[in-house]
Structure 1
């Protein structure tokens, strides 16, 4: 199941708004809220985002390590995209509400993928740093 082109446009716009408004405080906020949401799934993510679960957790970890000053080798635009995606993911007000069966996380998956287009190499570098 997919979302309409209008819903996709709105999700992109919300993601861009979140990304444009990122500052250090919002990075920390996103990491805390993202961790709570992920933990709320009890290790069983919704099927629509299951294939992105590793990436979602990496994004949240990156935001957390950045906000604590543990990992700062990340370009600001990449950090902003990651933070914007997390903020969209945790928002109770997104294009397709998460509680709607079957399609609830389709827009979240879209936004995570948009962030990954920007952040993939830096996210993988972070994963290597984290595992070292």
Structure 2
């Protein structure tokens, strides 16, 4: 039996995922649309009520990917290769899409391929995720010492004039 990361690697090499990579690359220049995708993906991940510790960890990391792409789009965090952001956004688009290798309406199995792809992304880009989380903690510390900068835990709202 293969691991989630191995399944995710197979999905990442699939032609269907390549479509999501292309879509993500095109969306990257449209911040308002990316933020909409990020919010929808975060909502979808937050609705999952799995009690399994492994899955909870994957959900937490997937939400970190949402925040990482959001911070990149907002211009707050640029210490990451654009190709990593495109891959992360493609993973999020795949998770959000009801039409993928295993449709989400199939109980349990439909969401397992999404988790597999997230697991692959985490394995491949773990260093980037750790650096982003470190940056988040430093930013939160700076914001706490300077309240005028706002609360980083609040959702980011795109300004209509910037999309």
TM-score interval for Structure 1 and Structure 2 normalised by the shorter chain: 0.7 to 0.9
Match of 1:45 in 2: 48
Q: Distance in 2 between matches of 1:28 and 1:120?
A: 27
> Which one of 52, 65, 72 corresponds to residue 66 of structure 1?
72
Unaligned 5+ segments in structure 1 are: 3-7
1:25 alignment partner in structure 2: 29
TM-score, structure 1 normalization: 0.78
Distance (Å, rounded) in 2 between the aligned partners of 1:114 and 1:40: 19
Change in 2 beyond 3 A, CA 1:76/1:118:
farther
**Aligned counterparts of 1:128 and 1:51: Cα–Cα separation in 2:** 17
CA distance in 2, matches of 1:84, 1:96: 16
Instruction: Indicate the structure (1 or 2) with the bigger Cα radius of gyration.
Output: 2
- Matched position secondary structure for 2:110: coil
Counterpart for residue 113 of structure 2: 107
Unaligned runs of at least 5 residues, structure 2? 3-8, 139-163
Q: Is the 8 A contact 2:91 2:121 kept in 1?
A: yes
Cα RMSD between the aligned structures?
3.0
Q: How many residues align?
A: 129
Query: How far off is 1:114 after superposition?
Result: 2.0
How far apart, CA to CA, are the structure 2 residues paired with 1:16 and 1:115? 14
Normalised by the length of structure 2, the TM-score is 0.65
1:98 paired residue among 101, 104, 108: 104
Q: 1:122 corresponds to which residue?
A: 128
